[in-house]
Amino acid sequence: MAVRHRLIRTRPEVVWDVLADGVKYPEWVVGPSAAQPVRGRWPHKDAAIRYAVPIGPVRLSNETVVRRCEEGVSLELEAHAGPLGTARIAIEVKPWGEHTLVVVDEHPLRGAGGFLHNAGFEVLIQLRHRAMLARLARLCESRDDPGPGPAARTAGASAGRAGSGHA
């Protein structure tokens, strides 16, 4: 079972907004391209998206289904990877001070992925998670650029008033 976490320097709501947008799935998950809704309303239970995964000259058509969703807190997905089988991917979103701790837990359920699962396979999943969480962090942190906070605006206004006589 591959478990990995990352501190994302933004509010949990921002992270959840990205996770709750099925079309953005290929922007943070390593492998997929151009996700399209198949059924339901993502991220509600049983909603699904379909996407292609290019592997060299071959393009696999895969699907991910929401198996469980606790809005703003957790999202559990089942990724169908064609001949490779299926995997369970659980994502937890936890407030951590002013930031968000995201925990990803993935393991194969059925098919070749489950049969071939071993320590080497686990290393590959960990590397994929590291890249995936880095992409998620970049996407979320770039969306949450609110500019200066109230304290900075107040300080800036005070400095502007103090320096206004020197213009």
Domain boundaries, given as residue ranges, for the chain = 2-144
Task: Give residue 32's pLDDT band: very low, low, confident or very high (50, 70, 90).
Answer: confident
pTM over 0.85: no
pLDDT 10s digits, 92-126:
999 999 999 999 999 888 876 666 666 666 677 77
In whole angstroms, what is the distance from residue 159 CA to residue 7 CA?
34
How distant, in Å, are the alpha carbons of 8, 16, 35 from that of 53? 26, 24, 10
Nearest alpha carbon to residue 60 among 30, 39, 83, 87: 83
If you average pLDDT over every residue of the chain, what do you get? Answer: 83
| Superfamily in which the 2-144 domain is placed by CATH | START domain (3.30.530.20)
